[in-house]
Structure 1
Amino acid sequence: MRVHFIAIGGSAMHNLAMALHDKGDIVTGSDDEIFEPSKSRLAKRGLLPQDYGWFPEKITKELDAVILGMHAKSDNPELLRAKELGIKIYSYPEFLYAQSKNKTRVVIGGSHGKTTITSMILHVLQYHNKDVDYMVGAQLEGFDVMVKLTDANDFIVLEGDEYLSSPIDRRPKFHLYKPNIALLSGIAWDHINVFPTFENYVEQFDVFLEQITAGGAIIYNEEDPEVKKVVERTASLIKKYPYRTPEYTIENGQTLLETPEGPMPIEIFGKHNLNNLEGARWICQLMGVDANDFYEAIATFSGASKRLEKITESGTAVAYKDFAHSPSKVKATTQAVKDQYPDRKLIACLELHTYSSLNPEFLKEYQGALDAADSAVVFYSPHAVMIKKLEEIKGEQIDEAFGREDLIVFTNPADFKTYLYSQNFENTALLLMSSGNYGGLDFNEVKTYL
């Protein structure tokens, strides 16, 4: 196939471009800006555009398909040219479905835990040399790319994101995959710029279940009341398998998972991660991996990139970074670190960085999210609020939203860094939660202060 990517530099897009190149397809692309690590990874395969910008002359009748990324606009000149020539235009998820119509599609959905569960499944399958196609939202140890497509593999495992498919396709991505086997981990309101009410957001998961093929299966977290409601009310002719958090203990900072063979030490921790693990176990079982083989493999799983990723550890201090930004994930992650290190002071720092988290109306959803921390810090950039064209947020609104009188709020990156590096980290656990970088914080530099 000859495939052209409009906005090839995106995290998902560049991985798909590399997957097709590795498969033997002829791949080209354009973008108006490309950052690391996409830039180096595309260059390594000879896929980096020579010049930045949009070039309609790249769109010719020789192309079999154009894949449109979310970063592009609906009036993109290359997109308009593709329409003019009648070339097939795919959104990212639409193309993945087209490539996997004849495979067994396993789709992992939910407001949180998607990446971790998908990563666990892939780790277990790779450990046992079971080759599958996949798409996952984080870089995994032992995997060169985040997307793999072949003609030979029977299974494809897809992380099912509920965000929009493309600038000209407003359907959530996970509505397009039509899973044979699906998982639903949790529902907590997010993406309020697209789903303005909680009811509207939940409705997307109703549709997700409707898309499961007849006779297929849904694995669902029965501890989440919204998930339970959505699954119980679906009229789809599918099998329903509930799961819940397995038994576990924590001894001297080590989490032990209860298994049929007795307590087993694992590298990950936190109730939410143990819950994710159980969901992954069910999926692996339906893919032909028995419980004993699953436990053997999962014992070596150290986590997905930026998901409770350990930055550094010294004798009496440890630091983690996490992608957490939604209220439910912030609460679960903060509690997990406190449970793992109950005798240490927990300094939890959260950057409000996404559209939802910077919306004054949505802020109240963070009530109590940082309560497990001994010291709670929130950073946000007024410039980011301005760029997103949102109402100005004042420090008092943040205080009121989180419900902590001792909350420390920073809006200046230099002030935040000064605060952070002036702390005494003896007998401390530091947790840095953000989908950004606190206005330029070097996470490697943190290591020198612990």
Structure 2
Amino acid sequence: MKVHFIAIGGSAMHNLAIALHKKGFEVTGSDDAIFEPSVSRLARYNLLPPEYGWYPEKITSALDAIILGMHARPDNPELLAAQQAGLKIYSYPEYIYEQSKDKLRVVIGGSHGKTTITSMILHALQAAGKAFDYLVGAQLEGFDTMVGLSDAPLMIIEGDEYLSSPIDRRPKFHIYRANLAVISGIAWDHINVFPTFENYIEQFATFINTMEPDGTLFYAGNDEVLEKVIAGDNSAIQKFPYHAPAYEVNNGVTTVLFEDEKYELQVFGEHNLLNLEAARNICNQLGITSHNFYSSMRTFKGAARRLELLGKSDSTNIYKDFAHSPSKLKATIHAVKTQFPERKLVACMELHTFSSLNKNFLGEYAGCMDEADTAIIFIHSETFFHKKMQPYEESFVRSTIKRPDLIYFDQPEKLKEYLAKQELTGKNLLLMSSGNFGGLDLTRLTEKLLG
């Protein structure tokens, strides 16, 4: 098979390219800009384009398929050439389905927790010695790529609700046709694509209706919005709610209590306990007992950038987290506060995504940081320019977030200077962003704060 990637440098795209290369496909690709870690990873497999840009002459009848990334525009020269030549063009979720249509497909959907739930399932399957393919939204310890393709009869798919490609406006998770599925909860996100909450909710109702007729869905039983979606669904699939397990927290360690056994975890927080139960229910369906599942979770360290411990001392822990939507921020802050109730919490979030920076959406963040003892918001001054958005003033952020003692920065060096001066004895620091705080080296900052 000869496959060409248009916009090969994307996070999911370059991982799929590597996975197909490992499977023996002949893979080529183009992009107008590629950044780390994609550059190094593509180069390692000799898949890095020799020059950046779009080259319609690469599109020939010898290609079996074109895979189109979200980064490309509808008028992309290579895309136009492929359309004119009548070549088969896939979005990457379409190609994932093409590779898994004869397998049992497990799809993990929801506004939050998808990566963690998927990672927990993969960890348990690996511990049980089961063969599986996968697509996950983060680099995981023990896995070379974020996509794995083989002859395994099973595929675990993290089901993102964002659009599939510039010419396919369907949410990705509508394409996979799940046999088994999870919906972890619904909280408005991607306002640039789904302008109303009602429109966003509709995507999850549609997802349920794309499942195979004999499918089984597990859903978070504590989510009122999701409960209404389930109540309004008339499909023939089986639907089961899940809830957090019995647990205890001692000296900053969470332990699950199940059938007179105790399972000490390395992850924590009510949201992660819900994630745990979603994963357990799926693993039970795949032949892994609850005892074996919980036993494997003793060594699960979490997905990258999900409450990732950067460093700690006897009285301070410093975490970074991918949280960027209101529901994720609130859940992450609550997790750290309840895990260490005796410590004060300094919480810093970066507004970085299109949704978080949208003036009409910013109000959704009001109250999200209320549990933090010190609340910091960072918006890099260059972000609006890069995203071609109209900037707004600090005063608008303050009036919208509605926290009088809010601390605000728009320059990374100013934020770094402030954090470097903090006395963190008896406190935890939580850094939350889907970006990188304007390029701050968080590892070096952590060393300085704890040194």
Indicate the TM-score class for this superposition, using the shorter chain for normalisation: over 0.9
Partners of 2:211 and 2:228 lie apart in 1 by 17
What per-residue deviation string (whole Å, max 9, x for no partner) do you get for residues 130-177 of structure 1? 110000000111111110111x21110100000000001111000100
Corresponding position of 2:204:
205
1:18-67 residue CA offsets vs partner (Å, 9 max, x unmatched): 00001011101111111111111111111111111111111111100000
What is the letter of the counterpart of residue 218 of structure 1? L
**Worse-superposed segment, 398-407 or 133-142:** 398-407
Residue 317 of structure 1 deviates from its aligned partner by 1.3
* 1:51 alignment partner in structure 2: 51
Q: Does 1:445 align with 2:444?
A: yes
Name the SS of the counterpart of 1:19 in structure 2: helix
Take 1:250 and 1:396, find their aligned partners in 2: how far apart are those partners?
40
> Would you say the 8 A contact 1:360–1:391 is kept in 2?
no
1:383 and 1:355 map into 2 onto residues whose CA distance is: 13
1:244 is matched with which residue? 243
SS of equivalent to 1:357: helix
2-side partners of 1:283 and 1:315: how far apart? Answer: 37
Partner residue in 2 for 1:386: 385
Query: Which one-letter code corresponds to 2:226 in the other structure?
Result: V
Please state how far the C-alpha of 1:390 moved relative to its aligned partner: 2.9
- Alpha-carbon shift at residue 263 of structure 1 (Å): 2.8
- Name the stretch that deviates more: 392-401 or 82-91: 392-401
What are structure 1's unaligned runs of at least 5 residues? none
Does 2:13 correspond to 1:6? no
Measured in 2, the distance between the counterparts of 1:145 and 1:438 equals 25
* 2:42 aligned counterpart, secondary structure: helix
Amino acid in structure 1 at the alignment position of 2:44: K
Contact 2:217 2:239 in 1 (8 A): yes
Give how far 1:395 is off.
1.6
The whole-number CA distance in structure 2 between the counterparts of 1:19 and 1:255 is: 36
**Partner deviation per Cα, 1:288-315 (whole Å, 9 max, x = no partner):** 1111110110111010000000001122
1:305 aligns with 2:304: yes
Give 1:316 shift.
1.6
Show the counterpart of 1:155.
154
Residue-by-residue CA offset, 1:364-412 (whole Å, 9 max, x unaligned): 1011101111111000023212333333322222223322111101111
CA contact (8 A) 1:181 1:217 kept: yes
Secondary structure at the counterpart of residue 66 of structure 1: strand
One-letter code aligned to 1:269: F
Partner-residue secondary structure (3-state), 2:279: helix
Structure 2 counterparts to residues 264-343 of structure 1, below 5 A: 264-343=263-342
Structure 1 residues 67-91: Cα deviation after superposition (integer angstroms, max 9, x where no partner) = 0000111111111111111110000
The answer to which of 394-403 and 220-229 deviates more is 394-403
CA distance in 1, matches of 2:251, 2:437: 32
**1:416 to 2:391 alignment:** no
Q: Could you say which residue in structure 2 is the equivalent of 1:87?
A: 87
Q: Distance between the aligned counterparts of 2:123 and 2:280, measured in 1?
A: 12
Aligned residue number for residue 107 of structure 2: 107
Query: What amino acid is aligned across from residue 73 of structure 2 in structure 1?
Result: K
Match of 2:291, SS state, is helix
The amino acid across from 1:282 in the alignment is N
**1:96-175 equivalences in 2 (<5 Å):** 96-150=96-150, 152-175=151-174
Alignment of 1:25-36 (within 5 A): 25-36=25-36
* Aligned counterparts of 2:250 and 2:402: Cα–Cα separation in 1: 32
Query: Residue 359 of structure 1 aligns with which residue?
Result: 358
Bigger shift: residues 250-259 or 349-358 = 250-259
2: CA distance between counterparts of 1:250 and 1:406?
Answer: 31
For 1:378, what is the secondary structure of its paired residue? strand
Q: 1:402 to 1:263 in 2, by over 3 A?
A: farther
Secondary structure of 2:355 counterpart: coil
Shift of 1:347: 0.4
The residue identity in structure 1 corresponding to 2:231 is: E
Structure 2 counterpart of 1:347: 346
**What SS does the aligned partner of 2:347 have?**
strand
Q: Judge conservation of contact 1:359–1:391 (CA < 8 Å) in 2.
A: no
1:375 partnered with 2:369: no
* Runs of 4+ with >3 A deviation: none
Partner secondary structure for residue 90 of structure 1: strand
Shift of residue 447, structure 1, vs aligned partner = 2.3
What letter is aligned with 2:90? Y
% of aligned pairs identical? 57
3-state secondary structure, aligned to 1:96: helix
Kept in 2: contact 1:270–1:336 (CA 8 A): yes
Q: TM-score, normalised by structure 1?
A: 0.98
Structure 2 unaligned regions, length at least 5: none
Shift of 1:438: 1.2
State how far apart, in whole Å, the 2-side matches of 1:390 and 1:7 are. Answer: 23
Corresponding residue SS for 1:156: strand
1:420 maps to a residue whose letter is L
TM-score relative to the length of structure 2:
0.98
Contact 2:349–2:378 (8 Å) recurs in 1: yes
Preserved contact between residue 115 and residue 304 of structure 1 (Cα < 8 Å): yes
Distance 1:182 1:233 in 2: 18
Query: Is the CA contact (8 Å cut-off) linking 1:413 and 1:440 kept in structure 2?
Result: yes
Number of the residue aligned with 1:435: 434
Distance, in Å, in 1 between the alignment partners of 2:229 and 2:287 is 27
CA distance in structure 1 between the aligned counterparts of 2:226 and 2:337, rounded to whole angstroms: 26
SS of 1:382's equivalent in the other structure is coil
